[in-house]
């Protein structure tokens, strides 16, 4: 029997190593229910039972309290909301003014968003309780087996100690993961759910209710008509987002490396001094510099008056870069100029940072690599492309991917530079509140902040996720392939 | 030959001067405007006609309903310090667990974190707001700290990359000596990771100074003395205010930038080491 | 191994924390922050019981009431004084605390609609936001018992109309000056010059100066179309907009108006500016006339000194004849949030802020044109150049009520004209596209 058990355990261990996934847990819990003694079986209802039977009183108490707290939360707080989850509420807000008390008397109304919020929290709580229930069964079963085999059973003190040693990761991860769940996962689930509702300005809690509408919003994003232009706007904005991400990422990357290389060159005197100047520009908060640049370049801003004085505006008019009747350069207010300008300004913002990173990497470049190039008599340009860049690329390739994704979601630069300044001249875009210069995220942001169109914003958010996910998967797959090849070299 | 060398050197440094000028123009403009006697935007000349310290004086001593800079600075500093402590701990904790320990859910958690990171951050904003509201934490600096640092664990990748470079032999030796994981974390890995700690501290410390989106959403009572520097300064550029407060905005920008710049310049070395070692492996 | 379990523990901890926090948050009215958190989670049921307990209170000891109020940056000091006077006047009946927050009027709607429940109890906003605020349930209709008739009697009919939706009065008029008229510099332009766009533009161009207005805003461009009888109005459902600006059957066609606007935009003596640029322009002397409102009267007076003047809007020429440009009858309103815990006192406060004495005060301190009939009739108000110009314009002015899609479409149309229609698109097409955008159902 014990032998069989052991081989079973071994097999389980093997599987645990092979696939680091959940099935083990289900199976283990199932086995616990099937093979466990009365105490283990009791644990299915009362999570502390298994520990009590092994005289782990404190643990039994903790688990009991945990179970009671979770169940109390789910049934007392969560259930009333969960019951309304299907309809997202039916009772609309009404109130009467009571002259006697000088107060408004409101009815017991439903708030769709609160229902959604608490339903999601309750769902999460149920999932957590379920998994902890499984894990608990497995744990008490293990405990039972240890007791039967006459092995040592941990005292509470020893248990606590294990959380500083072999279970230290649990101690380390619990708070950060809880933070992520509360502040990222739950909100994301809620917003994903909103994509399937009609939550917009006409359906805003607390005054109105919103309701499930299925995939209507997704179809809206892909249809186009005279009065429904989300399809057109999405295509336009997506195209520009990708163009932007491409240029923003690669311009910063290459220029940053070149600048770093230039400063590292032995012929450059006082490299520290120069580097410090660039670093200072990182240290000024972005919103200060960007808002400043926005005013700097505004239609009646200082650059425009200097340009007009110096006759540059007229020159640009002559060569057709500025429309004939304008007496200023529309740096941030016409589509063509604005798109070029935001990319240039992004270089201004991003290159110093990229330069810092590249400097660090370049300093780590194995000396023999550059030495051998010198012996080969390669000139600087040649060695830059043949030695420096491949090395940089091998080392920082993955960050290029993350930078690309970050640029797709680069909210600050575009928003701060063009908000209140840029007005679209395209009625189709205007109807769906987009602008030529918008990225998907800035469009999404303005949809929520200015138009309360949460349903469409959520749909766009999901699309952004899908795009980023596809891109990341493809890029990492090809990158890892490349890495393997390089390792053989 | 020598002449050619000198010319080359002059060209090289001339080029650098041009580059630095381009990079410094907006910064110089902030500084100059902050000393301008004209409270609005000077759109005719780069250099102010007259210089004065009055904008700084107003900003620091003459608080009015619009400008509460000392309060903002204090608020932001408190929020930044709290954020910095929580975020840095979270990042280092997660990074150590993911880098130095092996456990079953590790891969799953890492994949999940990558997936979550792909969602645009602004999407969840309104839901975060309502979560905080239901917890009674809107209009409080605690709420703001939680928003800034709550999800900090997701940004562990660079720190993990750095920890990966700590030789495993060191940890193994410590284990043989009977040190617990906690002891290895505090006594072996942390002391060796000064650059990445500095990097994480600087980054998390800067978040509250730069963010205006969440701050504006959460501190929505309109009580301007509760604001952080970024909402306060952002507000000064409101259409109705810009002509009276632009110079003060610049002065505020300068005052915020000075300490951060000093921090950056001093910590530059660690910062670079931290990010490069982290990014190389991460 | 027990990772999941431990995570679960931690999460419950967090949840339990947040639970207790919101449980207590309901009762304690968070000392530090001033928002009246009207039952954020277990909403309705709670309010009921609160009301009950307070009924007992009202008859007994002095009630403690906390109100929050939002007003514009520039008005803060004045509002504080008014609020303090209100506290003083009611100190026998109630123990009042009033907190005043900053909320720029032009973005009041954006902040309030994000979360109506935590928005201020009393707030100030321009009347073009009224519809959306009413639709979102952010405004309390003023009950008859709270002196509705009096408000309607003491304020100008235009301002009352601007605060009324579907026969219900939703706000207290505070000013009646939120429209536009013409500012000009007498040094360069005479009264006769500014009667029409064409002479004004010619003079300005000759002097190397500019005349200005904001073109990419439906609030201003409304004045051109309304002048020839073309209109934009709210549809019956209260959210969509009806619009006939592209009419080809009207005596003056839409395309004629658009052509007139485009001619102005393309004129050498014209520059399109938004508010802040207008002020910069008059300060540095490049702008000698412009369409704007009383909020910039002080800036204009400072810049031009004795040469400062203001009058009705100019005429423009379309389809061969001159048409008097229209303005909007706009006002600043003070509204009350129905989610306020002490709505009665909030209504009284709003009433106080907008009464005759305080409108006079607001005129004296801030130059706001009163909506109160008596206050507006005073000699001082009549003598104010900007307000006189506004009053002069009132016979060519209308209350503008439009739906949400109006603003974006007109902004885009105005921007195209302002850019000089660079692609040379047929004006009728531009108009048709704009009207399609304006009238598209809000979704």
CA distance C210 to C202: 10
The answer to whether residue C51 scores a pLDDT higher than 60 is no
DSSP string, chain B: -HHHHHHHHHHHHHHHHHHHHHHHHHHHHHHHHHTBS-SS---S-SS-SSB-SHHHHHHHH---SS--HHHHHHHHHHHHHHHHHHHHHHHHHHHHHHHH---TTHHHHHHHHHHHHTS-GGGGHHHHHHHHHHTT-TTSHHHHHHHHHHTGGGG-HHHHHHHHTS-HHHHHHHHHTT--HHHIIIIIIGGG-HHHHHHHHHHHHHHHHH--HHHHHHS-S--GGG--HHHHHHHHTSTTTHHHHHHHHHHHHHHHHHHHHHHHHHHHHHHHHHHHHHHHH-
The answer to whether residue C157 scores a pLDDT higher than 80 is yes
Pick the CATH number of C7-177+331-371 from 3.20.20.140, 3.40.190.10, 3.40.50.12280, 2.40.100.10: 3.40.190.10
Q: Tell me: do A232 and A138 sit in the same domain.
A: no
Q: Is the dihedral of CA C62, C67, C73, C78 positive or negative?
A: negative
What does each C-alpha distance from C209 to A245, A322, C212 come to in angstroms? 43, 21, 10
For the sheet with C122-126, list strands across it.
C94-102, C63-71, C122-126, C332-336, C172-175
Q: Show the DSSP H helices in A265-285 as ranges.
A: 271-283
Q: What is the pLDDT of residues B222-264, one digit of tens each?
A: 888 899 999 999 888 887 788 888 999 999 999 999 888 888 8
Q: How many CB atoms lie within 10 A of CB C433?
A: 22
DSSP string, C88-151: HHTTTTEEEEEEEEE--GGGHHHHHHH-GGGS-SEEEEEGGGHHHHHHTT-SPPPPGGGTHHHH
Give B120 to chain C, closest Cα distance, Å.
20
Is C280 part of the contact surface with chain B (CB cutoff 8 Å)? yes
The answer to whether residue C310 scores a pLDDT higher than 70 is yes
The answer to whether residue C42 scores a pLDDT higher than 80 is no
Q: What is the pLDDT of residues A103-115, one digit of tens each?
A: 899 899 999 999 9
Q: Which residue has the tokens 């000056």?
A: C177
How many inter-chain contacts (A to B, CB under 8 Å) are there? 271
Structure tokens at A79: 């259930």
DSSP string, C374-406: HHHHSHHHHH-HHHHHHHHHGGGEE-----THH
Q: Tell me: do A342 and A244 sit in the same domain.
A: yes
Q: Tell me: do A227 and A358 sit in the same domain.
A: yes
Q: Tell me: do A30 and A127 sit in the same domain.
A: yes
Q: What is the pLDDT of residues B63-89, one digit of tens each?
A: 777 788 999 999 999 999 999 999 999
pLDDT at A370: 66
The answer to whether residue A154 scores a pLDDT higher than 50 is yes
Instruction: Say if B33 falls within a structural domain.
Output: no
Q: What is the pLDDT of residues B110-121, one digit of tens each?
A: 989 989 988 888
Q: Are B126 and A405 an interchain contact pair (Cβ–Cβ within 8 Å)?
A: no
Nearest to A441 among B42, B120, B131 (CB): B120
Structure tokens at C97: 């605390």
The answer to whether residue C37 scores a pLDDT higher than 50 is no
Q: What is the pLDDT of residues B21-43, one digit of tens each?
A: 999 998 999 999 999 888 887 77
Note the Cα A383 to chain centre separation in Å: 38
Please name the residues between 291 and 320 in chain A that touch chain C, using a CB distance below 8 Å. 298-300
| Identity of the highest mean pLDDT range in A64-68, B213-217, C16-20, C292-296 | A64-68
| Total tally of structural domains belonging to chain B | 1
Structure tokens at C392: 């002069």
Question: Could you tell me the pLDDT band of residue A373, with boundaries at 50, 70 and 90?
Answer: low
Find the mean pLDDT for residues C261-273.
92
Question: Could you tell me the pLDDT band of residue A375, with boundaries at 50, 70 and 90?
Answer: low
Instruction: Say if B19 falls within a structural domain.
Output: no
Question: Could you tell me the pLDDT band of residue A376, with boundaries at 50, 70 and 90?
Answer: low
pLDDT at B124: 85
Find the mean pLDDT for residues C331-343.
94
Cα angle value B235/B237/B239 (rounded, 5°): 105
Question: Could you tell me the pLDDT band of residue C49, with boundaries at 50, 70 and 90?
Answer: very low
Name the fold adopted by C181-328+389-439. D-Maltodextrin-Binding Protein; domain 2 (3.40.190)
Q: Which domain holds residue A162?
A: 3-194
Last residue of a domain, one of A178, A194, A210: A194
pLDDT at C28: 34
pLDDT at C55: 38
Strand partners, C100: C69
CA distance B194 to C436: 62
Please name the residues between 20 and 79 in chain C that touch chain B, using a CB distance below 8 Å. 21-22, 24-26, 30, 32-35, 37, 40-41, 68, 70, 72-74, 76-77
Please name the residues between 257 and 296 in chain C that touch chain A, using a CB distance below 8 Å. 265-266, 271, 273, 277, 280-281
pLDDT at C164: 92
Residue C239, classed as helix, strand or coil, is coil
Question: Could you tell me the pLDDT band of residue B281, with boundaries at 50, 70 and 90?
Answer: low
Mutate to test the interface with B, among C24, C102, C110 (most CBs of B within 10 A): C102
**In chain C, where the domains are located:** 7-177+331-371, 181-328+389-439
Q: Tell me: do A343 and A253 sit in the same domain.
A: yes
Instruction: Say if B10 falls within a structural domain.
Output: no
Instruction: Say if B8 falls within a structural domain.
Output: no
Contact at 8 Å (CB) between C235 and C401?
Answer: no
The answer to whether residue C106 scores a pLDDT higher than 90 is no
The answer to whether residue A482 scores a pLDDT higher than 60 is no
Please name the residues between 114 and 143 in chain C that touch chain A, using a CB distance below 8 Å. 114, 116-117, 132, 135-138, 140, 143
Q: What is the pLDDT of residues C78-91, one digit of tens each?
A: 999 999 999 999 99
Find the mean pLDDT for residues B172-190.
88
Is B145 part of the contact surface with chain A (CB cutoff 8 Å)? no
Residues of C within 8 A of B75 (CB-CB) are none
Q: What is the pLDDT of residues A118-138, one digit of tens each?
A: 999 999 999 999 999 999 999
Mean pLDDT for chain B overall: 88
In this complex, the chains that touch A, judged by 3 or more CB pairs closer than 8 A, are: B, C
Residue A174: closest CA among chain C residues belongs to which residue? Answer: C7
Question: Can you give the CATH number for the domain in which B245 is found?
Answer: 1.10.3720.10
Find the mean pLDDT for residues C71-82.
91
Structure tokens at C363: 């005129």
| Total tally of structural domains belonging to chain A | 2
pLDDT at C36: 36
Q: Tell me: do A410 and A446 sit in the same domain.
A: yes
Q: Tell me: do A256 and A170 sit in the same domain.
A: no
Instruction: Say if A318 falls within a structural domain.
Output: no
Q: Which residues of chain B approach chain C closer than 8 Å at the C-beta?
A: 40-41, 43-44, 65-66, 103-105, 126, 129-131, 133-140, 217, 220-224, 226, 235, 238-243
Nearest to A461 among B8, B119, B151 (CB): B119
pLDDT at A127: 95
Q: Tell me: do A174 and A229 sit in the same domain.
A: no
How many inter-chain contacts (B to C, CB under 8 Å) are there? 110
pLDDT above 90: percentage of residues in chain C: 58
Q: Tell me: do A183 and A267 sit in the same domain.
A: no
Question: Can you give the CATH number for the domain in which A466 is found?
Answer: 1.10.3720.10
Residues of A within 8 A of B174 (CB-CB) are none
- Nearest alpha-carbon partner for A111 in C276, C325, C25, C40: C40
- Terminus-to-terminus CA distance in chain B, angstroms? 46
Q: What residues have CB less than 8 Å from A294, skipping those under 6 apart?
A: A332, A416, A417, A418, A421
Is C25 part of the contact surface with chain A (CB cutoff 8 Å)? no
pLDDT above 70: percentage of residues in chain A: 91
Q: Tell me: do A356 and A271 sit in the same domain.
A: yes
Instruction: Say if B105 falls within a structural domain.
Output: yes
Q: What is the pLDDT of residues A74-89, one digit of tens each?
A: 999 999 999 999 999 8
Q: Are A450 and C412 an interchain contact pair (Cβ–Cβ within 8 Å)?
A: no
Instruction: Say if A208 falls within a structural domain.
Output: no
CA distance B64 to C33: 20
Instruction: Say if B235 falls within a structural domain.
Output: yes
Structure tokens at B217: 């959403």
Global pTM exceeds 0.95: no
pLDDT at A285: 85
Find the mean pLDDT for residues C34-55.
35
Mutate to test the interface with A, among C44, C430, C438 (most CBs of A within 10 A): C44
Is C426 part of the contact surface with chain A (CB cutoff 8 Å)? no
Please name the residues between 186 and 215 in chain B that touch chain A, using a CB distance below 8 Å. 206, 209-210, 212-213
Q: Are B182 and A168 an interchain contact pair (Cβ–Cβ within 8 Å)?
A: yes
**Burial of B142 (C-beta count, 10 Å sphere; 0-12/13-18/19+):** middle
Instruction: Say if B109 falls within a structural domain.
Output: yes
Q: Which domain holds residue B175?
A: 72-278
Give C388 to chain A, closest Cα distance, Å.
31
Higher pLDDT, B181 or B280: B181
The answer to whether residue C379 scores a pLDDT higher than 80 is yes
Mutate to test the interface with B, among A127, A285, A341, A352 (most CBs of B within 10 A): A285
Give B244 to chain A, closest Cα distance, Å.
15
Nearest to B222 among C32, C70, C280 (CB): C70
Instruction: Give the helix/strand (H/E) hosting C10.
Output: helix C3-28
pLDDT at A377: 63
Higher pLDDT, C60 or A428: A428
Residue B246: closest CA among chain C residues belongs to which residue? Answer: C276
Residues of C within 8 A of A97 (CB-CB) are 140, 143, 145-146, 343-344
Structure tokens at A414: 């575009």
């Amino acid at each position: 029997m014990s032998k069989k058990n052991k081989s079973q355990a071994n097999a389980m261990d093997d599987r645990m190593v092979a696939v680091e996934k959940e099935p083990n847990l289900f199976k283990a819990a199932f086995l616990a229910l099937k093979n466990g003694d009365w105490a283990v079986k009791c644990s299915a209802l009362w999570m502390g039972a298994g520990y009590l039977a092994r005289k782990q009183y404190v643990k039994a108490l903790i688990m009991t309290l945990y179970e009671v707290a979770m169940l109390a939360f789910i049934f007392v707080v969560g259930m009333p909301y969960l019951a309304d989850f299907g309809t997202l509420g039916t009772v609309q807000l009404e109130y009467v003014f009571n002259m006697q008390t000088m107060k408004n008397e409101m009815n017991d109304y439903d708030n769709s968003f609160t229902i959604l919020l608490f339903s999601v929290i309750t769902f999460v709580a149920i999932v957590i309780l379920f998994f902890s229930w499984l894990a608990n069964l497995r744990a008490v079963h293990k405990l039972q087996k240890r007791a039967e085999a006459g092995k040592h059973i941990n005292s509470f003190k020893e248990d606590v100690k294990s959380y500083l040693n072999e279970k230290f990761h649990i101690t380390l991860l619990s708070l950060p993961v809880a933070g992520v769940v509360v502040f990222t996962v739950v909100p994301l689930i809620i917003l994903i759910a909103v994509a399937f509702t009609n939550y917009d300005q006409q359906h805003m809690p607390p005054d109105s209710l919103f309701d499930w509408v299925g995939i209507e919003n997704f179809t809206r994003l892909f249809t186009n008509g005279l009065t429904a232009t989300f399809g057109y706007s999405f295509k336009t904005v997506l195209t520009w987002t990708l163009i932007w991400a491409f240029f923003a990422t690669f311009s910063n990357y290459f220029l940053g490396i070149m600048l770093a290389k230039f400063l590292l060159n032995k012929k450059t005197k006082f490299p520290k001094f120069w580097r410090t100047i660039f670093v200072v520009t990182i240290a000024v908060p972005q919103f200060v510099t960007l808002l400043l640049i926005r005013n700097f370049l505004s239609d009646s801003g200082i650059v425009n008056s200097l340009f007009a004085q110096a006759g540059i505006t007229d020159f640009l008019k002559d060569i057709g870069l500025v429309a004939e009747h304008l007496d200023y350069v529309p740096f941030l207010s016409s589509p063509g100029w604005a798109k070029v300008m935001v990319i240039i300004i992004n270089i201004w913002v991003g290159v110093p940072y990229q330069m810092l990173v590249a400097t660090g990497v370049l300093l780590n470049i194995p000396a023999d690599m550059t030495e051998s190039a010198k012996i080969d008599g390669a000139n600087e340009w040649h060695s830059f492309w043949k030695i420096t860049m491949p090395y940089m690329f091998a080392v920082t390739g993955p960050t290029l991917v993350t930078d690309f994704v970050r640029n797709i979601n680069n909210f600050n630069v575009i928003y701060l530079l063009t908000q209140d300044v840029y007005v679209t001249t395209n009625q189709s875009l205007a109807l769906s509140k987009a602008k030529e210069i918008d990225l998907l995220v800035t469009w999404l942001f303005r949809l929520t902040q200015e138009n309360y169109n949460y349903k469409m914003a959520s749909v766009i958010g999901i699309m952004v996720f899908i795009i980023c996910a596809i891109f990341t998967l493809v890029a990492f797959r090809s990158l890892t392939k490349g890495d393997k090849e390089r390792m053989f070299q | 030959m020598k002449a050619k060398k000198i010319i080359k050197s002059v060209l090289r440094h001339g080029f650098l001067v041009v580059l630095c000028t381009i990079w410094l123009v907006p910064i110089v403009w902030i500084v100059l405007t902050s000393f301008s006697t004209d409270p609005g935007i000077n759109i005719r000349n780069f250099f102010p006609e007259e210089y004065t310290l009055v904008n700084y004086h107003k900003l620091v001593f003459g608080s009015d309903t619009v400008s509460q800079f000392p309060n903002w600075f204090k608020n932001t500093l408190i929020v930044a310090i709290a954020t910095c402590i929580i975020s840095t701990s979270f990042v280092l904790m997660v990074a150590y667990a993911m880098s130095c320990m092996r456990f079953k859910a590790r891969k799953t958690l890492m994949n999940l974190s990558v997936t979550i990171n792909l969602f645009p951050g602004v999407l969840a904003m309104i839901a975060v707001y309502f979560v905080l509201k239901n917890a009674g934490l809107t209009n409080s600096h605690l709420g703001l700290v939680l928003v800034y640092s709550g999800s900090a664990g997701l940004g562990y990748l660079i720190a993990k990359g750095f920890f990966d470079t700590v030789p495993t032999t060191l940890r193994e030796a410590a284990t043989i000596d009977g040190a617990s994981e906690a002891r290895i974390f505090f006594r072996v890995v942390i002391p060796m990771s000064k650059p990445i700690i500095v990097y994480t501290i600087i980054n998390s410390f800067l978040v509250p100074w730069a963010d205006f989106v969440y701050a504006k959403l959460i501190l929505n009572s309109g009580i301007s003395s509760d604001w952080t520097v970024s909402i306060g300064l952002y507000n000064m550029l409101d259409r109705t205010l810009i002509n009276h407060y632009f110079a003060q905005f610049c002065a505020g920008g300068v005052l915020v930038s000075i300490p951060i710049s000093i921090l950056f310049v001093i910590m530059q070395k660690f910062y670079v080491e931290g990010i490069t070692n982290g990014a190389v492996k991460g | 191994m027990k990772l999941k379990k431990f995570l679960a523990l931690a999460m419950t901890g967090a949840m339990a924390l947040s639970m207790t926090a919101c449980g207590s948050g309901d009762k304690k009215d968070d000392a530090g922050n001033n928002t009246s958190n009207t039952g954020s989670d277990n909403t309705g049921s709670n309010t009921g019981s609160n009301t009950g307990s307070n009924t007992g209170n009202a008859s007994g000891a002095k009630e403690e009431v906390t109100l929050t109020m939002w007003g514009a940056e520039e008005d803060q000091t004045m509002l504080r004084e008014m609020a303090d006077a209100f506290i003083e006047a009611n100190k026998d009946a109630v123990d009042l605390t009033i907190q005043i927050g900053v909320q720029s009027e032009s973005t009041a709607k954006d902040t309030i609609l994000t979360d109506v429940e935590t928005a201020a109890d009393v707030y100030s906003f321009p009347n073009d936001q009224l519809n959306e605020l009413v639709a979102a349930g952010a405004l309390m209709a003023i009950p008859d018992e709270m002196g509705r008739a009096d408000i309607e009697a003491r304020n100008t009919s235009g301002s009352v109309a601007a605060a009324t939706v579907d026969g219900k009065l939703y706000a207290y008029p505070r000013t009646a000056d939120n429209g536009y008229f013409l500012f000009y510099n007498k040094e360069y332009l005479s009264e006769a010059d500014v009667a029409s766009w064409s002479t004004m533009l010619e003079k300005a161009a000759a002097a190397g100066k500019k005349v200005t207005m904001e073109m990419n805003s439906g609030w201003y461009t409304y004045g051109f179309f309304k002048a020839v009888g073309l209109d934009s109005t709210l549809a019956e459902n209260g959210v969509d907009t009806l619009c006939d600006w592209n009419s080809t059957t009207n005596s003056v066609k839409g395309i004629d108006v658009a052509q007139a606007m485009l001619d102005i935009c393309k004129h050498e003596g014209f520059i399109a500016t938004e508010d802040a640029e207008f002020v910069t322009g008059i300060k540095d002397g490049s702008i000698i006339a412009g369409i704007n409102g009383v909020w910039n009267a002080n800036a204009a007076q400072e810049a031009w000194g004795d040469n400062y003047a203001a009058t009705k809007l100019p005429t423009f020429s379309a389809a061969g004849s001159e048409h008097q440009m229209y303005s909007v009858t706009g006002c600043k309103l003070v509204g009350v949030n129905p989610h306020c815990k002490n709505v009665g006192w909030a209504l009284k406060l709003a009433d106080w802020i907008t009464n005759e004495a305080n409108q006079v005060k607001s005129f004296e301190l801030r130059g706001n044109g009163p909506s109160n009939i008596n206050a507006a009739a005073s000699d001082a108000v009549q003598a104010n150049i900007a307000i006189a110009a506004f009053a002069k314009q009132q016979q060519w002015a209308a209350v503008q009520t439009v739906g949400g899609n109006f603003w974006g479409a007109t902004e885009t149309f105005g921007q195209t004209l302002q850019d000089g229609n660079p692609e040379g698109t047929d004006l009728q097409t531009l108009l048709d596209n704009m009207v399609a955008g304006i009238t598209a159902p809000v979704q």
